[in-house]
Structure 1
Amino acid sequence: MEVTWREAMRRALYGAEGFYIRERPDRHFRTSVHASPVFAEAVLRLLRRADADLGRPDPVDLVDMGSGNGLLAARVLAAAPPDLAERLRVTAVDLSPRPGDLDPRVAWEPEAPYGIAGLVIANEWLDNVPLDVAEMTPDGPRLVLVDTATGDERLGPAPCPEDLAWLERWWPLRSPGERAEIGRTRDEAWASLITRLARGTAVAIDYAHLYGHRPPLGTITGYRDGAVVPATPDGSCDITAHVALDACAAAGERAGAWETTLTTQREALRDLGVTGARPPLAQASADPAGYVRALGRASQEAELIDPAGLGGFGWLAQTVTLSDSRPRMM
């Protein structure tokens, strides 16, 4: 069956037999959450900053978008100090069934709640929001249709006016054969999340690219069993595409975000105290066991901030405050 890539991704990932409904994603790929508990510690520091900025409300929210197996939410809750833990309301948002071993204090919901006061973390969430693909032809952009069984493609009709406008603003196509992934659906998903944030901060962490540096042939990729595979939208593999985070940032501002920071995971985590610094060599003789533990932690930190790996991920942080009186628009 031939459909647009947006529809193909929706079915392949979230349909009745979709990858995210049927599979545990952590069995197929490794995110920063799975790489090290250090990532959850950094998120906890970010949560404590948000909590202090908000005047330590009761309750204070942590919302984990695209939670997967709930590991990040559970780790942050377990590490929270008593004064924060007793006020902390943790919500994991995912379409897959709730893991049986998840801490009962973590709520499990299919969509983000409204009225969030605290911190929202969307780690590798937006890259799985389905989107359409366009290819430039001598007659202008055309949607790419894909066979859901084989992954074979052919060109279809022109994109709708809204998508054409998005392309011209955020990912202009100039030469025949160039491709773009139309990120309007990601913008809308992120804006919807911002409208659910009454006050606090939302952070999107993902494979990303910015205007002027878009990949000319797109980024749609399949993953299965820890390896890159053809992006065949038959439900057998994860399908992702990098995120135009600058477009999402603009959508978030239209939806009411007051402050925006767009950076990399390397810089964001370094600001949160993750440096990858090795322990002093003198500790090896004075405290051999402690030196080995510190060396292991340094290795974990280094992986999280490696600019050629996880450290190269984009970080978009946007804040909503009670003093923001601007109207919210999707």
Structure 2
Amino acid sequence: MWLTWRAAVQRALYGPDGFYLRERPAGHFRTSVHAGPAFAGAVLRLLRRTDASLGRPPAIDLVDLGSGDGLLASRVLAAAPPDLAERLRVTAVDLSSRPAGVDPRVTWAAELPERVTGLVFANEWLDDIPLDVAELTPSGPRLVLVDPSTGDERPGPEPEPGDLAWLERWWPLRHPGERAEIGRPRDEAWAGVIGRLVRGTAVTADYAHRAGHRPPFGTLTGFRGGAVVPAVPDGSCDITAHVALDACAAAGERAGATETRLTTQREALRELGVTGARPPLALAGTDPAEYVRALGRASQEAELIDPAGLGDFGWLAQLRL
């Protein structure tokens, strides 16, 4: 059976017994959330900034979009000061079932709330939204078809007009053999997030690239058991592709975002106080236990802002105030 990559990945990840309906991400790949509590601390600081910008309303939302195991939502709620925690409505959005151990104050949902006032945070969510792959042939762009059981490919039909327009605007193919991942479904998904944001901030952090620096042969990748594996959409592994975050930003602005910032995770987290600075050595002599704790925090932070690793992630923050 030959399918488009979008259809094949949709079935492999989210169909009956799909990868994400039976697996937890932490068992297969490491995200910023799992690097330690420092990431949740930064999200909490961002939430507090959002709360202040909204005038500290009687109720404020935190939506953890693509929550996976609910760890980020639980950590932020646990660390929130009492004056914020008592006003905080926390929703973890994921298609999988609610894991054991998630803070009972966290609402588990399959969809984003209809109206959000506060902060939506999507960590490595967009890269798992399935999309089609196009390749430039002597006859023009053609969709790439895949055999889900083997990963074998062959050329298919021409993309529909909307996808051709997206390619020309965001990822033009100029030489036969070049490939692009058509990000229109991700643009639409992100626009849907902004459309439900009444007031506040929406952030998505992900593997990303921008116009002028697209990879010529695409980024489809498989992950299983902590290792990179061939991207075979048979349901046995996660299938991801990097995100054209600049296209998502434009879609968010069309959906009503009033302010946009597109940067790297390194720069965004440094502005939120994540520096990776080691504690002074003198602390080891006066308070050895605190020195060890501070050293651990510094190590977590350094991993989050490493420019050769998690720090190179794209961060798109859009406001609607």
Q: TM-score, normalised by structure 2?
A: 0.99
TM superposition shift of 1:26: 1.1
Distance in 2 separating the partners of 1:291 and 1:106: 33
Residue number in structure 2 paired with 1:103:
103
Letter in 1 for 2:34: H
Name the counterpart of 1:44. Answer: 44
Residue 58 of structure 1: aligned partner: 58
Residue 222 of structure 1 corresponds to 222
Alignment match, 1:306: 306
- Code of the residue aligned with 2:249 in structure 1: it is A
Residue type of the partner of 1:127? D
- Asked whether 1:196 is paired with 2:199, we answer no
Following superposition, the deviation at residue 101 of structure 1 comes to 1.9
* Counterpart residue number, 2:249: 249
Which secondary structure does the structure 2 equivalent of 1:31 belong to? coil
Aligned twin of 1:134: 134
- Residue in structure 2 matched with residue 25 of structure 1 by the alignment: 25
Give the aligned partner of residue 183 of structure 1: 183
1:165 aligns with 2:195: no
Structure-2 residue corresponding to 1:236: 236
Is 1:274 equivalent to 2:250 in the alignment? no
The 8 Å contact of residues 114 and 198 in structure 1, kept in 2 or not, is answered as: no
Structure 1 CA distance for aligned equivalents of residues 225 and 16 of structure 2:
21
SS in structure 1 at match of 2:3? strand
Alpha-carbon shift at residue 100 of structure 1 (Å): 2.5
Whole-angstrom CA distance in 2 between matches of 1:123 and 1:320: 19
The aligned amino acid for 1:309 is: G
Q: Which runs of 5+ in 1 are unaligned?
A: 322-330
What secondary structure sits across from 2:316 in the alignment?
Answer: strand
Structure 1 residue 114: Cα displacement: 1.5
Aligned to 2:285: 285
Match of residue 4 from structure 2: 4
Backbone CA RMSD of aligned residues: 0.6
Query: Which digits, 9 at most, give the CA deviation of each residue in 1:193-213, with x for residues without a partner?
Result: 100000000000000000000
TM-score normalized by the length of structure 1:
0.96
- Runs (4+) of structure 1 moved beyond 3 Å? none
Question: What stretches of structure 2 of length at least 5 have no aligned partner?
Answer: none
- Report the Cα offset of residue 298 of structure 1: 0.7
Secondary structure at the aligned position of 2:292 is classed as: helix
- CA deviations over 1:178-228 (Å, ceiling 9, x no partner): 000000000000000100000000000000000000000000000000000
1:140-155 equivalent positions in 2, closer than 5 A: 140-155=140-155
Q: SS of the counterpart of 1:236?
A: coil
Q: Deviations over 1:245-289 (max 9, x none)?
A: 000000000000000000000000000000001111222222222
* DSSP-derived class of the 1:46 partner: helix
SS at match of 2:297: helix
Deviation at 1:162, TM superposition (A): 0.2
Aligned to 1:114: 114
- Residue 109 of structure 1 deviates from its aligned partner by 0.7
Shift of residue 24, structure 1, vs aligned partner = 1.4
Tell me, what secondary structure is at the counterpart of 2:213? coil
Secondary structure of the residue aligned to 1:213 is: coil
**Is 1:316 paired with 2:294?**
no
- Matched-pair identity in %: 78
3-state SS of the aligned residue for 1:301? helix
Which has the higher mean CA deviation after the structures are superposed, 280-289 or 221-230? 280-289
Residue deviations 1:86-128, cap 9 Å, x none? 0000000000011122111101111101210000000000000
Paired with 2:171 and 2:68, the residues of 1 have a C-alpha distance of 30
Question: Does the 8 Å CA contact 1:61/1:119 hold for their aligned counterparts?
Answer: yes
